[in-house]
Each structure stands twice: as structure tokens, then as C-alpha cells.
Amino acid sequence: MMSKLQGPRGLTRRQLLKRIGTAAGASVMYRSMSALGHSNESSYAGPVNLGAAPADTRVLVLGAGLAGLVAAYELRRAGYQVDVLEYNDRVGGRSWTLRGGDEYTELGGFRQRCEFDEGQYLNPGPWRIPYHHHAMLDYAKRFNVPLEPFTQINFNAYLHSQQAFAGKPQHFRHVQADYSGHVAELLSKATNQGQLDDAIGIEDKEKLLESLRHCGMLNKDLRYGVSNRVSRTRGYDVDPGGGLMPAPLNSTPIALDDLLQSGLWKYLASDLDYEVNPSMFQPVGGMDRIATAIHREIAPSVHFGAKVIAIDQDDRGVTVRYVDSKGGGAPKSMLAAWCVCTIPLSILAKIELQVGEKMLAAIQAPSYSASVKIGLQFKRRFWEDDDRIYGGITYTDLPIQKIGYPNHGMNQGGKGVLLGAYVWGANAFEFTSMSPQDRVRKAVELGALIHPQYRREFENGIAVAWHRAPFAQGCAALWTDAMRERHYENLCAIDGRIVLAGEHASYLPAWQEGAVLSSLDAIRRLHRRIVSHA
Amino acid sequence: MFICRLSGNRSLVACCVLLMMAVPALSARAEEPPPFSPLSPASASKPGPFIHSDGATIYRAVCQGCHMPDARGARGAGEYPALAADARLASAAFPAARVLGGWLGMPRFADMLSDAQIADVVNYVRTNFGNRYPDRLCAGDVARIRTTVQSGGEK
């Protein structure tokens, strides 16, 4: 097998071993890090208790996304007088759900109406909550928002490359099992040939071989191939049945060189990322359930349709000028002693703001990432009925990049909404530059290369390109290490009477947990400042 | 030569009219969007650089996402600046530096567009949308600006 790999198309053995070393090293390191508890968990330590607010102290919160809602709710609970100004006529910000009948006009005036059926929805922003996002889970619990499992890894979903296997999508379970098996076989060969003798002692060598045989599903000759054991992991050509049905038929692994050249192995590692480890959750009925539940508790404080145009401060307080989001008109003013500003930096950078140079430079530093999500409604749930894919994600090198299968209403028949594209990078800019109708059309055209049923079953769709969102102008703040070094503390520090909060002021960019933790930390520090002032 | 900015619901027909008027090089029919760039083979999560090779196509594939098909920008809670009839484009180095380094939330494209691509799209914008700046930027100019943007340090 080794000699087969030495050719113009294949890798030399040296290159191959190097790759395996990298892959095996990473996964081994990952597991031991998790076992030792070194991975970072959310620093949430239970509900915040600010203590009592000084009498008649008014705080103005800008933005009613999760950061703003949490700030407003907790400050009110402490006894502050709170007003929230929100640009949209709904709460949630990027924590948002689109349902049938919703209308959405993006920048440039492109208007869409969501035509989904009752019970169908798209979360165009955040769509999942990892088990280690303790603050999000706690707010869901405290506000009685029911959650259901979000399937991240589905072993029957697909990995797809246009170039590999003549464009035929491969089941995750096949790629996963065969990669492990082939690598284990090669590593056992290298071990037996004494090539790892410098790296490993004789006793460990035996344990290593034992582990490779066990984890790599190798036979007694340390080979990976057709066997009962292997089919138990990767699945069968004929599944086990009953009675006089045909006997189970073992499946045949993908050849090593085909697998390596396909590049599909690169998707295996992404689902192991800590941030998307199971268990994950989604609110029943849509992500906006959490924001709307918090809003119910503080509804009188929230003022919709308010576009902030200037934020001023002096020794005595903060003055925010705003106009009607739709009509414009004469500016109105709102005064408060303090201000928690959760407006995304992409927007805030363009608003007149009275803060010091350091905070201004920090606000101007991050750019915003491009991302696009497209929801597609189909007449029937063919991914379940035909393809037996219930929840989870298919990964592809097509510009749609991912297909997300709905995690609710499974096995009930009827219609369903797929996340037909979840796009980052160059393709996200390209999708953003299209009209919403073209985005949907392209998502259907490209998705049909994976699920041909698209062509017959597609009904309608809606596309959200985050750079065209009037209230966000981008998906999330894009920090580099150098940028954080220089600006992050200045962004988070209280400037006079103003403190910023949101995912942009966190180490969890683009995650709701980042917005909430940032908000809790900001109001804790602000409260201490206020109390020491009083 | 520019029609008023459309507000509210923009029909496909209006869109085409607008494209016709603003971009004489384009045909009257609504065109198929530019092709997609391939994903980088190196990483599943980091799609590769843009493939488009001429200024008009780069504008349609990338820039109009924010600056809009008519280059008149947009206003929501914040704003995207117009590039149409833009006096700030008098110096070609200015837009080139912005494209390379980003600014106020605008992504930096230094790693996603080549010097030649940036020169092409800057030349395109500076000679369309009501801009008439005859001097041309070449890839070598962008390469020089790139070093100043980079030596200016990461923001």
C-alpha cells in the first residue's frame, strides 16, 4: 500500500507520515486537554446580584439585542430607572427568527417577505447554544424558554466535494471511520517497522499497537478492510433485518488514496471544535424566544424605532439624540446619568460619540465579518424520508458551504425548512452582492447537486446577508490577536459615564454568550462605579 | 446622469434600469451574478481569494454588497458611503488603501484581492458611477501602497 502512494498523484511516504503525525497529534492532544479540563468554559458564575441602586439613578441602554436586554433587565432588578432605545421594531438584534408573514427590507431597499408555512422558521443569526454557554442556558431557564437538542454531528449527513467521488456526497460515518482506520493501519506499520522507536518505549509500543487495533478497527494482521467490526462503525451495504430478510452485508471502505485526495478529512476536525461540542441546544420555536421572554419582563422600558445619531456626555450625565428609524424627522433627546451602549461597532463607528481617543480607536479597529444564511422551504422532508438525515449539517465545497437540517418536527412528514446555505469568507461577499432572489435561486441550484430532490420540492426561500442588515452592517466583530492587544481593554473600559457591551466586547465573537457575558461584566463594573460616585 | 436613489421596494425592472444608467458597460438585461470563487483547498473554514479578474466584475461580486449596485451607498442604523460622484476618489491611492486596510467596519481585503485586482476595481470605480478620473492605477502602485498599509501596523 505504501508503494502505491508513491506516484505523481499520491504523497510520498514521508509526506503522508507527516500528515498523519499532525492529525493524530492534534486529536490526541485535544482529548487529553479535554480530560484535564483545560479547555475554556464560560466564566458565568450564576445570576448577577448587583445590590441596590442609588435612588433615582437613570441608565440609558442603547440596543435591545441580548446584551442590551440583559443589561436592562438586571439594572432594573437592582432598582435603576432604565430606558432602552432600539433601532428595529422588535427586540433581539441579531438573535432573530424569521417566520411566515415577516417582512424584511435590507440595505439598498431590497425587500423580502417570508412565505414559510405555520411552524416553519429560519434563525438567520445564532442558531445553537453549546452546553458550556452557561449564561445563555441560565437565562433560558430563568425565563422558562424551553430548549430542545440541536444536532451538530450527524453521522448520516454528507461531506461533499465537487471534485471527489465524481461529485457524489459521502456519508460522514464513512469518511470518519475510514480515515481513522487507514491512519491506524499506517501508524501500526510504522510502529512495527521500528520507525517510532526513538519516540516510544517498548511497553508503550505494545499499548499503542493495541489501541490502534481497537480504535482503528484493525484485524489481527493490523489491516483495515471489510469486516464485521468495520461495518459496525461505518454501516452496512445491507442493514441487519429480521426473519428471512437478506442477511447483513458488510460495506467496503473507501480506498486510502481516494480518501486522502478527496480532502473530505478536513471536515472531520471542525466538528470536534470545543465551541460546537455536543450537547447543543436551540429554543423551541426559534432563537428569538429568549430575547422576547426577557423583553416581556421589561417591556415598558423599551422604545422601538429609535435611530441613535449622537451620544454626548459631560460631568453630569449622558445625552443621546435619536430620530425615528423610518421617518427620520426632528431629533429627540434622552438624558440619563449613565449609558450602556450595545450598538455594534460597525454602526457605532459612524455615530457622533463623545468618548476619549483610546475608546474611539478601539471602536474603529475591528472590521466585521461577512456571513449569509438562506432558508429554503420544501414541500416534503425528503432529507428525512429519502435520505434518512434527521438534523445535523452537511458540509460541501460548493459556495453554499453547509446545509443545515431542521432539528424540530422530525419524522412527522410534511413540509420543512432547510438552512440551504451558511456561508463565510469570499463566497459570503459574493452572495451579499446578489439580490435576495438571486441568492435563493443560487442556493437551490447548488444544493440540488447534493439533494436532487430540491428541483421538484422547493417552494420558497429567504436570504439574510449580514452586511446588508440595516441594524448590524456585518455579522460580527473580527478581532486579531494584535488588535486585541492594543484595543480590547480600551474598548471595555468605562469612559466617563459610558460603557460598551456586546459580542464585540468579548472573547466569544459572534456568540450570544459573548454578548451576555460582556453585558454582565459591564453592568457589574458600572454599578461599582455608580455606587462609588454616589 | 444619475437617477434619484430608489427607496422602499425596488423592483427588478427598476434595478435593471438603474444598472443600465449607472454602468453603461453592462447590458440592459438583468445579468447572471458573477461566478463564485472556489473555496481554499487549504482549509474548510477559510475560503480562498476572489477569482474575478476585471474591475466591473470585482465590483459586482464584492463591493456592491455594501456600496450597492448603483454605488450610492446606503443608510440604516449606520451608513455605507457612496462611491458615485465621489470627490474623495480624486487620489487613486485613497480607495486602494481603504480596500487593502479596511476602515470603520469595512473588511480589509489585503489577503483576498491581488494588487492587480485592486488596481482594476479602483480604476473601474474611478471611471464609472459619475467619476471621471483619467489617471490609472497599476498593480505596481498597489504593491507600494500595500507596503505602507502593512507597515502602518495592524490596527
Residue numbers of A between 313 and 332 with CB closer than 8 Å to B: 325
Contact A432 B108 (CB under 8 A): no
pLDDT of residue B48: 58
Pairing of strands A477-478, A367-368: antiparallel
Contact A238, A252 (CB under 8 A): no
State the residue for C-alpha cell 470536534: A272
Contact A296, A91 (CB under 8 A): no
pLDDT of residue A204: 94
Contact A432 B46 (CB under 8 A): no
Between the alpha carbon of residue A519 and those of residues A19, A48, A507, the distances in Å are 43, 11, 13
Q: Which residues in chain A touch residue B63, judged by CB atoms under 8 angstroms apart?
A: 433
Interface membership of A110 toward B (CB under 8 Å): yes
Q: Is residue A424 part of a domain?
A: yes
Whether residues A184 and A265 fall in one domain: yes
**What CATH number does the domain containing B20 carry?**
1.10.760.10
Contact B37 A434 (CB under 8 A): no
Whether residues A220 and A186 fall in one domain: yes
Q: Is residue B1 part of a domain?
A: no
What does B85-135 look like in DSSP terms, one character per residue?
T-GGGGSTHHHHHHHHH-BTTBPP-TTTS-HHHHHHHHHHHHTSTT-----
Contact A223, A185 (CB under 8 A): yes
Q: Is residue B4 part of a domain?
A: no
- For residue A107, the chain B residue with the least C-alpha distance is B74
Contact B111, B118 (CB under 8 A): no
Q: Is residue A311 part of a domain?
A: yes
Contact A483, A364 (CB under 8 A): no
**What CATH number does the domain containing A71 carry?**
3.50.50.60
Q: Is residue A163 part of a domain?
A: no
Range of the domain at B42: 12-151
Whether residues A355 and A375 fall in one domain: no
Q: Is residue A491 part of a domain?
A: yes
Whether residues A489 and A350 fall in one domain: yes
> What cell was used for A526?
458600572
Whether residues A224 and A135 fall in one domain: no
**Residue type present at position A385:** D
Interface membership of A92 toward B (CB under 8 Å): no
pLDDT band at B30 (very low <50, low <70, confident <90, very high): low
CA distance A179 to chain B (A): 17
Q: Coil, strand or helix: which one is A183?
A: helix
- Write out pLDDT tens, residues B59-113: 999 999 999 999 999 999 999 999 999 999 999 999 999 999 998 989 999 999 9
Q: Coil, strand or helix: which one is A394?
A: strand
End-of-domain residue from the set A415, A445, A468: A468
Burial tier of A271 (Cβ tally within 10 Å: 0-12, 13-18, 19+): middle
Contact A19, A25 (CB under 8 A): no
- For residue A479, the chain B residue with the least C-alpha distance is B155
Q: Is residue B7 part of a domain?
A: no
Q: Name the residue among B41, B75, B105 with its Cβ closest to that of A474.
A: B105
Closest C-alpha to A78, from A523, A534, A378: A523
**What CATH number does the domain containing A393 carry?**
3.90.660.10
Interface membership of A112 toward B (CB under 8 Å): no
Q: Is residue B2 part of a domain?
A: no
What does A259-306 look like in DSSP terms, one character per residue?
HHHH-TTHHHHHTT-GGGPSPEEEETT-THHHHHHHHHHHGGGEE-SE
Q: Coil, strand or helix: which one is A224?
A: coil
Whether residues A379 and A359 fall in one domain: no
H or E stretch at B16: helix B12-22
CA distance A410 to chain B (A): 28
Burial tier of A179 (Cβ tally within 10 Å: 0-12, 13-18, 19+): buried
Whether residues A341 and A490 fall in one domain: yes
Whether residues A400 and A417 fall in one domain: yes
Whether residues A149 and A230 fall in one domain: no
Between the alpha carbon of residue A488 and those of residues A342, A364, A493, the distances in Å are 15, 11, 9
Whether residues A359 and A375 fall in one domain: no
Per-residue model confidence as pLDDT tens for chain A (534 residues):
333 333 334 444 445 445 444 544 444 333 333 333 334 456 898 899 999 999 999 999 999 999 999 999 999 999 999 999 999 999 999 999 999 999 999 999 999 999 999 999 999 999 999 999 999 999 999 999 999 999 999 999 999 999 999 999 999 999 999 999 999 999 999 999 999 999 999 999 999 999 999 999 999 999 999 999 999 999 999 999 999 999 999 999 999 999 999 999 999 987 788 999 999 999 999 999 999 999 999 999 999 999 999 999 999 999 999 999 998 899 999 999 999 999 999 999 999 999 999 999 999 999 999 999 999 999 999 999 999 999 999 999 999 999 999 999 999 999 999 999 999 999 999 999 999 999 999 999 999 999 999 999 999 999 999 999 999 999 999 999 999 999 999 999 999 999 999 999 999 999 999 999 999 999 999 999 999 987
Q: Coil, strand or helix: which one is A409?
A: coil
Contact A367 B69 (CB under 8 A): no
Contact A465 B65 (CB under 8 A): yes
List Cβ neighbours of A186 (8 Å cut-off, separation of 6 or more): A1, A2, A16, A17, A20, A256
- pTM score, whole prediction: 0.89
Pairing of strands A392-396, A458-465: unpaired
Q: Coil, strand or helix: which one is A34?
A: helix
pLDDT of residue A156: 98
Closest C-alpha to A41, from A274, A304, A390: A274
Q: Is residue A323 part of a domain?
A: yes
Range of the domain at A186: 2-34+171-270
What does B30-76 look like in DSSP terms, one character per residue?
PPPPPPPPPPPTT-SSS-------SHHHHIIIIIHHHH-TTS--EES
Q: From the CA atom positions of chain B, what is the Rg in Å?
A: 16
H or E stretch at B83: none
Whether residues A182 and A241 fall in one domain: yes
What is the C-alpha separation between A134 and A282, in angstroms, rounded?
14
Q: Count of domains in chain A?
A: 3
Whether residues A344 and A493 fall in one domain: yes
- Start-to-end Cα distance in chain A: 77
State the residue for C-alpha cell 440595516: A470
pLDDT band at B46 (very low <50, low <70, confident <90, very high): low
In chain A, count H helices and then E strands.
18, 27
Closest C-alpha to A281, from A510, A128, A139, A96: A128
Q: Which residues in chain A touch residue B111, judged by CB atoms under 8 angstroms apart?
A: none
Q: Is residue A158 part of a domain?
A: no
Q: Is residue A293 part of a domain?
A: no
pLDDT at B155 over 70: no
Interface membership of A51 toward B (CB under 8 Å): no
**What CATH number does the domain containing A28 carry?**
1.20.1440.240
Pairing of strands A58-62, A338-341: parallel
CA distance B75 to chain A (A): 7
Q: Name the residue among A425, A432, A472 with its Cβ closest to that of B65.
A: A432
Interface membership of A421 toward B (CB under 8 Å): no
**Residue type present at position A505:** A
Q: Is residue B6 part of a domain?
A: no
Q: Is residue A40 part of a domain?
A: no
Q: Coil, strand or helix: which one is A236?
A: strand
Residue numbers of A between 252 and 311 with CB closer than 8 Å to B: 263, 266-267, 270, 307-308
Q: Is A195 left (phi over 0), alpha (psi -120 to 50) or beta?
A: alpha
ipTM of predicted assembly, 2 dp: 0.88
Q: Count of domains in chain B?
A: 1
Interface membership of A351 toward B (CB under 8 Å): yes
Q: Is residue B24 part of a domain?
A: yes
Contact A301, A83 (CB under 8 A): yes
Query: Which of B18, B29, B36 would best serve as a mutation to test chain A binding (most A beta carbons within 10 A)?
Result: B36
pLDDT of residue A4: 35
Contact A426 B48 (CB under 8 A): yes
Within 10 angstroms of residue A124's Cβ, the number of other Cβ atoms is: 26
Pairing of strands A81-85, A302-303: parallel
Omega before A279 within 30 of 0, i.e. cis: yes
Own/partner pairs, B144-147, CB within 8 angstroms, 24+ separation = B145/B93, B145/B96, B145/B97, B145/B100, B146/B100, B146/B110, B146/B115
What is the C-alpha separation between A11 and A5, in angstroms, rounded?
6
Contact A383, A393 (CB under 8 A): no
Mean pLDDT of chain B: 81
